[in-house]
């Protein structure tokens, strides 16, 4: 019978897989989420109606909990504002961990009444308890940190030692419990210690590394679900859990890569150190953007402005700018060029190059028009320009170029700056634009960066 | 050690599934653009809420006087449902931004 | 041994031979008789011809001793008196507009070939001097216009304001017109073009310029690559549109012509009156009457602030380049003509037949 | 109300105001006194000025009633006699080469500003008339050269043979040189450039042209964007290389100059002797002595088949365009000057300080 | 015990997966093949040493067959010339099918001696026999067709009917056999009919569709291996087989897509219809080339000539020509442009456009130089040129353009012509070049074709 | 029908593996450049030679007098080995061309 049910669960698992697959591309992600949800609904349905060996059904409790939980979930998720999403995910993840924690405790309690006593099953359940607890408490701490309820400065001294100690103690007690199998108190102790470990594990991770930690905790919840699946010999839990566990693990690694950090680094950070995500220049930080994010930002924009400067000329990147324009226009993104009067090194420098690349004159905006258009701009790509987009000309009376008309690039929503380094332009003065929160830097030769961007964009268009 | 080998052998299905799942997970995820990291994590998190099925089974197969199980189980269902429903809903909202206006 | 004679021209006409082209003739045994100082306009010295093996001789000697005589101007009666009746005369003889000289030749029963009458086939193209000259003229017309125009061609955004691109209008997009389009586009101008032949639209667009479509223009005025005269009823819509376009243009280059007919009038005086101050019109159809009402051939006039340059021989301004190309045309033509020998010219051959001017 | 006076120039100099630029002044309450017929070269009529709200008056009235006087030529002694000593005089005063007039002004203790002396900073660029004029001159030099050159600029493969591209050499790649490079490249020529400042290499390459490297040229002759005089020992290698390049070129455009010094001599007479027949040299440094030994300012000479055009004021040939740009420069400069009012000019300001010509 | 062995086989399966994964990217493909081979070697080793329940070992036969087979395999594969690779693959695949066929027959014979008789197992074995046989005979026919031993013209009349009939008969007999389980003769009959079906199935497929069929047959071999795996309860066979089956199926679909054909179309071709890849014009045929072949041809050339014509101008494809040049030069392919004096519609038409695209003047060859260079050219790409590459100017005295100097394009090894249709050029005369055996046509707007070519090329560079 | 369901239920492992393998196969192959189609097919073909393991087991577990099995089995090993060894070798040669001269 279990086998037949499992066969039916297969449908759910398949839907999970399809869902995850679709979730990994921008075009299909939305439907992927729905498909996964469908799989889940179907699984729950089967769990509700499939025959069980014993028990009284207790549908009152079940439906009550389902309705209540569903209501809360919906309510919370529709109310939360966009910027609070990550902490929400963390919170939900904690609840999943709690779920695993609760059922494994219940099962462990039940073990004493079962006739057949399998060591392997017991070990599995114990592991589910352990991992579920860590996921639960860890996620809550992550939630607290992200929402600001727990201050980043609340750090444990010698966290490294404490974590190690806790882990060793946990393993010792678990081993002992496996030998004796008797004391229910030890099980409770294991749960408490696991919860504690979850807290200390997460508490010391730097704020910027939080997403990575959440991903780890997410994977752990998956693993605990899979372990619970073993307990119940239930395919959907098992497979769903494994899928989440494995994809979560890989996602963790990818996130580290995207942040240019190694996992060990993040965890080491978690064990005491503090490493920020952004590069440090003097006492200011600049934010780097990777090609993928940049390409998605562009892809889903309505208006994009390309701001060419001397660097575009040096890189001879005019033709690729035009290609970028063509590609974006193809997906109905509006592209304009903002030509500053003194961009480049001779009057009309940009015009000459863009004409060579066959850019339509009608797409060239001069300073005034550009500044108007910038207000409605989603992304401004600065291709090797510097002085002509220096906001100190607007707001820093101490600047040597104060009063010079510049492109008011910060009127747009996002700015991506393509240049090779942090070095300054013709005027030799620093540019606060690069440190602005709206700005992301894409370092490297402009032609190369644009080429990469183009290749990436082609995969999503 | 023996215990582990025993488990491994008994759960060969799982082991195979595991290996496959790891590869599958890798292939599925490795080409994900970074902007999708958070939605994907959120979606995966919602799926991990599949553990409520265990909770449902637990409650269904408990005696109606087994208060401990009922309490733990119902609570587990509650929390798990929040995870599942909230998770999918939040993911959905995040993904709104990819729908071209 | 065949003697080919080259006469000196009184004007800046291209020369039928250059020191370089003489090298091409080497494998064929030909004797060249070149009039003294023939290369003066094209900047070739007599010495250069001598060192390539040609003979530099007097005009009389050239006329009397040549089997084939390549000319650029009409022969005077004096010249004709000296000319042997078997001598082949060839060159750009201007057969449509210079009837008197052609009639003289015909009357004499002189065998002559006018390169203007070559068919517009692929195989004739290497002899097609009109094509080569038109191309040069098209290029030069833009350079000249840019030189007369008191502004930039390209759009430039500078610290002292944004300079809009010059608007260039090309009327008639044959060989010269296309070259003018290409050149003006290169310089960064915004280029539009108009022609009555339908195929031209694609050709204009193949150079990245815009073609002006006249609504309701039904007929395709194409006969073997050349245009024909249009019907009156079609002309009104066309005239209005051209008027609109011309008065917005900074530069207008007109090349419209119909072989053997006077050039179509595309720009009226009142249109010129409405044009921008400082605009420039270059009329390459000046010799056959001009596309602009005010055009005077070989003159530069200023009409209410608009400069009108009428010159059908703009290519000749680039004499040395023109000669280089022309000499290759002549080489290919003569070679085709006498491929079976001077005595056995195949008058059935399409190229020979079309260019031949024989008895009346 | 501030009165700004605009004097008519005797030469084709750009005008400090255009009917269009008057619109820019509207928000600031300024009264314009424009000399009759001032717009004659730039093709603006007095009526156009009138309709934009300016007054068109006699020269005397302009001189006597203006608070700020924008000039293009030296003021005569007559003019100076009329000039109020508080009137600010400004314009392209040619301070390096026209010492006598400057001395007169200084002696009078007249407050004057020479736009030539603007610092080459980003913020000054919108007032930088030299830059605007140099850009025009660079463009025009190529158009002019193309007009004088008796061949095609671009490479063309035609039925009458392949025409090689013209070889253009630019000596001195400042603003004018860069614009010349860009224009020649557009026309399809093969372009090479040389300069003594190191930064220029990247700039030249940023336009897709080739930079000529002199081996062993160590020093960077750059002071605030301007070049300085070179040491003799470096010059020999450089001279040899330039000689080699020049004799291979079809077109040479020279723009090398050092402010306040006579122009560096880059092309000797014997180099010109070795040049190709029909080559063209355009020397934009003619006014300060010329980069070519044979250059004569404002003259077109033919030396052994090479055309040498010396003209430092090529931009003025495009008078109307030049005026449009210049008037913006003037607008920006005056606005900067009197931003705190006519009476409280900030003589500590870098731009004011650099351009100011005060007492001796 | 079986479980433990299967556990060890897991290593092999993992190696297979990794191998396949690496095989799917040009850079890692080579190592992928080795890894897969390693997995296979390991699997064979385990099969040799793992304990079996009964039997006499018979190592003499086994090692003999292994050594002989290995020797033959190595020998054949090193001897075969490059162009014969596909038929080799087909042949090998047939042998794999034969292997499955043989063991399933042996097993079916053995069934009679077994105590426990499982219907499911019997069905599985019968299926393995059936599919193995089809793969075997089908592959041999494919081999025959590819190597020219079987003529493309040897076609069955009413193949569609025959195939259907065979299939139905097979199913009927199999069903009967499952009911009775007795007659060994029926098993032999099934084998024979399957073999026959394999032959008729493949015989009518058009020559150009052969790769797709081979891919299908390959997937079938995989499935039969998996079925055999079920018989032996053997993980490596099962998983390896499934992997090959599923990836083979997907590869089949991809191949169809790459050829711009639907699978149904290919199979319909196989069931009687004649859908050749070559178009018929009058009584002459032109050969079409697909993007991938064209891109490989270019990628592995030493010298490539681009011949632009009026069509390049119409398509405004000059910039993409330049991009193609850049990409090819990057992988050390020599690219030149052959400019015919009258290409286009005005003197210097091509020059103007190519200069706009920033093509180096030094890369432009005029007629004479081009004709010299063409002798050493591997591929000449004709981009919308027609009259200027018309060989009748050289060898057909009756042609109106006889004697006109043209690009002697047939001096090169291969010619790819990009145009939209078979219509003629300016002169309005037919061009025998298009029908020449060295020539392949790539129909479509030149810009689009080049863009596709470029995209394809990028995946291999 | 019953038979099939029975098989399905009994072979749940296989079914799971199948689904996973199909997805994995899809993910692995779907990004393959067309040039690699043939080598990939060839490589997969070599892997499909895994069926020799069955042949080996067949021969090993046959009695030494069971000539039929021995003959069929040995022949199967022979052919299978050709498939495996030849397949990998040919694949390897094809892939040589991706190493630039
Ligand atoms: N237009 C004129 O007539 C004229 C004449 C003379 C001077 N100027 C002055 O020049 C300046 C022009 O402003 P701008 O914003 O165009 O240029 P800019 O301020 O000079 O900045 C150019 C930037 O491009 C970057 N860059 C250089 N090569 C690059 C490459 N290959 N790839 C990517 N980035 C590259 C450089 O940063 P990295 O080194 O970090 O890459 C540099 O910061 C103004 O200050 C203006 O006053 C203008
Ligand atoms: N150069 C000159 O001065 C001049 C002047 C006048 C005439 N001509 C003549 O023009 C001819 C030039 O020869 P050619 O080989 O360059 O051109 P062509 O012989 O006219 O052939 C052009 C070919 O390009 C193809 N084509 C058109 N649009 C296309 C597109 N968008 N994409 C792909 N292909 C396209 C056409 O075939 P599809 O329609 O099938 O695509 C056509 O066969 C010669 O006969 C010459 O004598 C030359
Ligand atoms: N051998 C060859 O294959 C060859 C050689 C040269 C030219 N051609 C072709 O011959 C054609 C004509 O060339 P051309 O330049 O010597 O022609 P042209 O000098 O006789 O006329 C110039 C252009 O004016 C146009 N025109 C005539 N009347 C007009 C009107 N009322 N309004 C507007 N335009 C008008 C004509 O259509 C023509 O395009 C072109 O299509 C050219 O491609 C072919
Ligand atoms: N406001 C600004 O930021 C601004 C405005 C205009 C120009 N500039 C910069 O100022 C610099 C000079 O501009 P310019 O055109 O007015 O200079 P310029 O007219 O004084 O000189 C022209 C060029 O000649 C060069 N030269 C001098 N001696 C030479 C020699 N012996 N051989 C070869 N070349 C020689 C100079 O280096 C210079 O590039 C440029 O770098 C330009 O970018 C800056």
Mean pLDDT over the full length of chain C: 90
Nearest chain F residue (CA) to A238: F16
State residue D70 phi and psi, 5-degree precision: -100, 120
| CB-CB neighbors (< 8 A) of F54 in chain E | 99-100, 103, 225, 228-229, 231-232, 234, 237
In-domain check, residue E59: no
In Å, the largest CA–CA distance within chain B is: 59
Q: How far apart are CA C245 and CA C242, in angstroms?
A: 5
| pLDDT in the model for residue E51 | 82
| pLDDT in the model for residue E277 | 41
Both A101 and A231 in a single domain? Answer: yes
Contact: A310, D131; criterion CB under 8 Å? no
Q: Give the closest of E352, E402, E405 to C182, CB-based.
A: E352
C317 in contact with chain D, both atoms CB, cutoff 8 A = yes
Both E300 and E197 in a single domain? Answer: no
Distances (CA, A) of C261 to A159, C97, C180, C264, D19: 100, 9, 23, 8, 46
Q: What is the mean pLDDT of residues A434-457?
A: 91
Instruction: Quickly list H helices, chain C.
Output: 19-25, 46-51, 59-65, 77-82, 99-108, 129-148, 175-186, 199-205, 232-248, 269-273, 319-337, 350-355
State residue E284 phi and psi, 5-degree precision: -110, 155
Percent of chain C at pLDDT > 90 equals: 65
**Which other chains touch chain A, taking contact as 3+ CB pairs less than 8 Å apart?**
B, C, D, E, F
In Å, the largest CA–CA distance within chain D is: 71
Is the model's pLDDT at A416 over the cut of 70? yes
Q: How far apart are CA C281 and CA D143, in angstroms?
A: 17
For E330, the domain range is 291-460
In-domain check, residue E123: yes
For B14, the domain range is 1-31
* Residue closest to E357 by CA, chosen among E316, E327, E311, E310: E316
Q: How far apart are CA A325 and CA A337, in angstroms?
A: 9
DSSP state of A436: S
Both B21 and B61 in a single domain? Answer: no
| pLDDT in the model for residue A275 | 35
What's the token pair of residue D214?
Answer: 């002199």
Mean pLDDT over the full length of chain A: 86
Would you call E22 exposed, middle or buried from its count of C-beta atoms within 10 A (0-12, 13-18, 19+)?
buried
Among D174, D181, D258, D287, name the best residue to mutate to test ligand 4's pocket (greatest count of ligand atoms within 8 A of Cβ).
D174
State residue D41 phi and psi, 5-degree precision: -75, -35
Per the CB < 8 A criterion, the answer to whether A276 and A208 are in contact is yes
Among C225, C252, C350, name the best residue to mutate to test ligand 3's pocket (greatest count of ligand atoms within 8 A of Cβ).
C225
Better-scored residue on pLDDT, D292 or E458: D292
List per-block mean pLDDT (blocks of 10 residues) for chain E, which spans 461 residues.
Answer: 73 89 82 92 90 81 92 89 82 93 87 62 87 94 87 76 86 83 82 92 79 90 89 84 87 76 66 40 70 82 95 94 94 94 92 92 93 95 96 91 92 94 91 91 94 83 61
Domain count within chain A: 2
Tell which atom from ligand 2 comes closest to the C-alpha of E309.
16
Nearest chain B residue (CA) to E24: B27
E32 in contact with chain F, both atoms CB, cutoff 8 A = yes
Residue nearest to atom 5 of ligand 1 (CA): A345
Is the model's pLDDT at D161 over the cut of 60? yes
Would you call B67 exposed, middle or buried from its count of C-beta atoms within 10 A (0-12, 13-18, 19+)?
exposed
Q: Quick one: which ligand is closest to E310's CA? A: 2
Both B26 and B48 in a single domain? Answer: no
Q: Tell the residue number behind the tokens 């130089």, with chain if given.
A: E369
| CB-CB neighbors (< 8 A) of A393 in chain D | 123
Is the model's pLDDT at D350 over the cut of 80? yes
Q: What is the CATH number of the domain that holds E450?
A: 3.40.50.1220
Both A200 and A338 in a single domain? Answer: no
| pLDDT in the model for residue C230 | 67
Q: How far apart are CA D172 and CA D212, in angstroms?
A: 11
Both E217 and E344 in a single domain? Answer: no
| pLDDT in the model for residue D311 | 93
In-domain check, residue A308: yes
In-domain check, residue E33: no
F78 in contact with chain E, both atoms CB, cutoff 8 A = yes
Q: Give the closest of D131, D277, D278 to C159, CB-based.
A: D131
Closest CA–CA distance from residue A407 to any residue of chain D (Å): 14
| pLDDT in the model for residue A277 | 39
pLDDT in tens, A103-144: 998 888 877 655 555 677 788 888 999 999 999 999 999 999
Is the model's pLDDT at B15 over the cut of 70? no
Q: How far apart are CA C242 and CA C261, in angstroms?
A: 21
pLDDT-derived band at B11 (thresholds 50, 70, 90) equals: low
Q: Quick one: which ligand is closest to A286's CA? A: 1
* Residue closest to E61 by CA, chosen among A440, F77, B45: F77
Helix (H, G, I), strand (E, B) or coil at E189: helix
> What is the A313 CA–ligand 1 centroid distance (Å)?
9
Q: Output the CATH code of domain D149-312.
A: 3.40.50.720
| pLDDT in the model for residue E271 | 40
In-domain check, residue E220: yes
| CB-CB neighbors (< 8 A) of E224 in chain F | 51
Yes or no: is domain D2-128+319-359 CATH 3.40.50.720?
yes
Q: What is the mean pLDDT of residues C38-62?
A: 91
E410: CB partners within 8 A, 6+ apart: E391, E433, E436, E438
Would you call F1 exposed, middle or buried from its count of C-beta atoms within 10 A (0-12, 13-18, 19+)?
exposed
Query: What ipTM, to 2 d.p.?
Result: 0.76
pLDDT-derived band at A270 (thresholds 50, 70, 90) equals: very low
pLDDT-derived band at A286 (thresholds 50, 70, 90) equals: confident
Both B27 and B40 in a single domain? Answer: no
Domain boundaries, chain D: 2-128+319-359, 149-312
Both F21 and F37 in a single domain? Answer: no
pLDDT in tens, B31-56: 777 778 888 889 999 999 999 999 99
Closest CA–CA distance from residue C206 to any residue of chain E (Å): 4
pLDDT-derived band at D220 (thresholds 50, 70, 90) equals: low
Dihedral sign, Cα of residue C320, residue C321, residue C324, residue C330: negative
Both E256 and E298 in a single domain? Answer: no
Both B49 and B89 in a single domain? Answer: yes
Q: How far apart are CA E370 and CA E368, in angstroms?
A: 5
In-domain check, residue E176: yes
pLDDT in tens, A189-246: 999 999 999 998 888 777 667 888 889 999 999 999 988 888 887 888 888 898 898 8
The size of the C-E interface in CB pairs under 8 A is: 60
Would you say the CB of residue E309 lies under 6 angstroms from ligand 2? yes
* Residue closest to D302 by CA, chosen among D281, D284, D271: D281
Residues of F with CB under 8 A from a CB of B: 12-13, 16-17, 20-21, 23-24, 27-28, 31
Which has the minimum average pLDDT: A287-291, C204-208, C303-307, D253-257? A287-291
Both A261 and A377 in a single domain? Answer: no
**Which other chains touch chain E, taking contact as 3+ CB pairs less than 8 Å apart?**
A, B, C, D, F
pLDDT-derived band at A162 (thresholds 50, 70, 90) equals: confident
pLDDT-derived band at F100 (thresholds 50, 70, 90) equals: low
Q: What is the mean pLDDT of residues A308-318?
A: 95
Q: Quick one: which ligand is closest to E449's CA? A: 2
Distances (CA, A) of D57 to D43, E79, E214, F56: 18, 100, 94, 114
Q: What is the mean pLDDT of residues D61-68?
A: 94
Is the model's pLDDT at B6 over the cut of 70? no
Both F4 and F42 in a single domain? Answer: no
The residue annotated as part of the active site, out of E326, E360, E378, E387, is: E387
Both B26 and B72 in a single domain? Answer: no
Both E360 and E221 in a single domain? Answer: no
| pLDDT in the model for residue A297 | 87
What's the token pair of residue E78?
Answer: 């090193």
Which of A1, A7, A8 best tests the F interface by mutation, with the highest count of F CBs <10 A?
Answer: A7
| pLDDT in the model for residue A133 | 95
In-domain check, residue E32: no
Q: How far apart are CA E327 and CA E335, in angstroms?
A: 10
Tell which atom from ligand 4 comes closest to the C-alpha of D199.
41
Both F61 and F85 in a single domain? Answer: yes
Is the model's pLDDT at D342 over the cut of 90? no
Q: How far apart are CA E22 and CA E32, in angstroms?
A: 5
In-domain check, residue E38: no
Is the model's pLDDT at C241 over the cut of 80? yes
F17 in contact with chain A, both atoms CB, cutoff 8 A = no
């Amino acid at each position: 019978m279990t086998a037949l049910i499992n066969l039916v669960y297969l449908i759910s698992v398949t839907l999970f897989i399809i869902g995850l697959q679709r979730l990994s591309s921008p075009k299909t992600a939305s439907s992927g989420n729905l498909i996964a949800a469908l799989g889940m609904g179907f699984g729950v349905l089967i769990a509700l109606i499939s025959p069980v060996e014993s028990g009284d059904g207790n549908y009152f409790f079940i439906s009550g909990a389902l309705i209540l939980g569903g209501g809360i979930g919906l309510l919370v998720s529709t109310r939360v504002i966009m910027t609070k999403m990550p902490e929400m995910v963390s919170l939900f993840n904690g609840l999943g961990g709690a779920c695993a924690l609760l059922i494994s405790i219940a099962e462990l309690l039940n073990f004493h009444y079962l006739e057949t006593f399998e060591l392997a099953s017991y070990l599995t359940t114990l592991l589910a308890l352990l991992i579920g607890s860590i996921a639960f408490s860890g996620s809550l701490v992550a939630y607290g940190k992200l929402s600001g309820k727990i201050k980043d400065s609340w750090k444990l001294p010698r966290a490294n030692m404490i974590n190690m100690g806790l882990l060793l103690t946990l393993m010792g007690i678990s081993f002992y419990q496996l030998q004796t199998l008797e004391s229910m108190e030890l099980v409770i102790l294991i749960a408490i210690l696991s919860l504690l470990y979850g807290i200390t594990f997460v508490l010391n991770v730097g704020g910027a590394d939080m997403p990575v930690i959440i991903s780890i905790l997410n994977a752990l919840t998956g693993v605990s679900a899979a372990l619970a699946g073993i307990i119940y010999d239930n395919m959907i839990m098992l497979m769903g859990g494994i899928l989440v566990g494995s994809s979560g693990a890989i996602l963790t690694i990818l996130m580290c890569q995207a942040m240019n950090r190694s996992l060990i680094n993040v965890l080491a950070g978690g064990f005491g150190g503090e490493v920020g995500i952004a590069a440090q220049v003097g006492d200011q930080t600049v934010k780097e953007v990777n090609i993928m994010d940049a390409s998605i930002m562009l892809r889903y924009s309505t208006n994009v402005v390309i701001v060419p400067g001397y660097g575009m000329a040096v890189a001879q990147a005019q033709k690729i700018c035009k290609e970028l324009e063509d590609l974006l226009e193809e997906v109905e993104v509006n592209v304009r060029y903002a030509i500053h009067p003194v961009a480049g090194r001779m009057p009309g420098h940009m015009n000459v190059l863009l004409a060579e690349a066959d850019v339509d004159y009608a797409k060239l905006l001069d300073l005034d028009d550009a500044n108007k258009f910038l207000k409605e701009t989603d992304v401004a790509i600065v291709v090797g320009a510097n002085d002509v987009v220096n906001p100190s000309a607007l707001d820093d009376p101490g600047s040597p170029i104060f009063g010079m008309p510049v492109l008011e690039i910060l009127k747009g929503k996002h700015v991506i700056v393509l240049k090779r380094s942090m070095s300054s332009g013709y005027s030799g003065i620093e540019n606060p634009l690069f440190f602005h929160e709206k700005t992301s830097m894409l370092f490297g030769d402009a032609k190369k960066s644009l080429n990469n961007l183009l290749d990436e964009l082609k995969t999503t268009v | 050690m023996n215990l582990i080998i025993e488990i491994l052998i008994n759960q060969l299905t799982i082991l195979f599934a595991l290996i496959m799942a790891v590869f599958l997970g890798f292939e599925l995820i490795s080409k994900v653009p970074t902007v999708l990291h958070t939605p994907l994590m959120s979606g995966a998190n919602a799926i991990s809420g599949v553990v409520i099925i265990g909770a449902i089974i637990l409650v269904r197969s408990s005696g109606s006087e087994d208060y401990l199980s009922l309490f733990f189980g119902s609570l587990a269902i509650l929390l798990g449902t929040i995870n599942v429903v909230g998770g999918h809903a939040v993911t959905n909202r995040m993904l709104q931004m990819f729908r071209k206006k | 041994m065949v003697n080919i004679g080259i006469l000196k021209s009184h004007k800046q006409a291209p020369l039928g031979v250059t020191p370089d082209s003489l090298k091409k003739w080497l494998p064929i045994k030909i004797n060249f008789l070149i009039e003294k100082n023939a290369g003066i306009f094209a900047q070739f010295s007599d010495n250069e011809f001598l060192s390539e093996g040609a003979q530099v001789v007097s005009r009389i000697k050239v006329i009397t001793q040549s089997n084939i005589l390549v000319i650029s101007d009409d022969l005077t009666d004096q010249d004709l008196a000296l000319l042997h009746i078997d001598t082949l005369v060839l060159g750009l003889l201007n057969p449509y507009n210079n009837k008197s000289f052609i009639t003289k030749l015909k009357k004499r029963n002189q065998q002559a070939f006018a390169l203007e009458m070559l068919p517009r086939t692929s195989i004739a193209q290497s002899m097609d001097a009109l094509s080569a000259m038109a191309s040069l003229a098209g290029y030069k017309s833009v350079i000249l216009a840019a030189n007369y125009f008191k502004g930039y061609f390209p759009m430039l955004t500078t610290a002292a304001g944004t300079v809009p691109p010059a608007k260039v209008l090309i009327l008639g997009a044959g060989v010269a017109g296309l070259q003018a389009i290409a050149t003006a586009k290169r310089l960064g101008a915004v280029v539009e073009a108009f022609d009555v032949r339908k195929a031209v639209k694609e050709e204009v667009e193949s150079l990245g310029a815009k073609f002006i479509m006249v609504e309701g223009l039904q007929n395709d005025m194409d006969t073997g690559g050349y245009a024909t005269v249009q019907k009156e009823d079609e002309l009104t819509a066309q005239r209005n549109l051209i008027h609109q376009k011309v008065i917005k243009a900074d530069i207008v280059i007109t090349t419209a012509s119909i072989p053997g007919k006077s050039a179509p009038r595309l720009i009226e005086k009142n249109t010129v009156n409405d044009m921008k101050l400082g605009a420039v019109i270059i009329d390459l159809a000046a010799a056959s009457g001009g596309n602009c009402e005010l055009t005077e051939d070989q003159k530069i006039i200023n009409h209410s602030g608009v400069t009108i340059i009428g010159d059908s021989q703009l290519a000749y301004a680039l004499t040395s380049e023109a000669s280089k190309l022309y000499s290759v045309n002549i080489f290919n033509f003569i070679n085709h003509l006498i491929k079976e020998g001077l005595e056995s010219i195949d008058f059935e051959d399409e190229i020979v037949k079309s260019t031949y001017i024989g008895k009346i």
